[in-house]
Amino acid sequence: MANYIERLKEKLKIKKFDSDQPLNAWLFVLILNLVGFAGYFYLKVNDINLGE
């Protein structure tokens, strides 16, 4: 059981950000996801149904 808990902790540990990753691409993806969620909630709040 202790081995399982140690492996679980290792998988859930936040890893250091890799400096080779393009920061601008990650920011674009994050902002695009935020805009998508905002649009989804806007459509739900205003009771707009797409495709019906």
pLDDT of residue 52: 67
Question: What is the Cα–Cα distance from 23 to 20, expressed in whole angstroms?
Answer: 9
Phi first, then psi, for residue 31 (nearest 5°) are: -65, -40
Q: How far apart are the first and last CA of the chain?
A: 52
Question: What is the Cα–Cα distance from 15 to 34, expressed in whole angstroms?
Answer: 23
Domain ranges for the chain, please list them: 21-52
pLDDT along the chain (52 residues), means of 10: 83 76 88 96 90 74
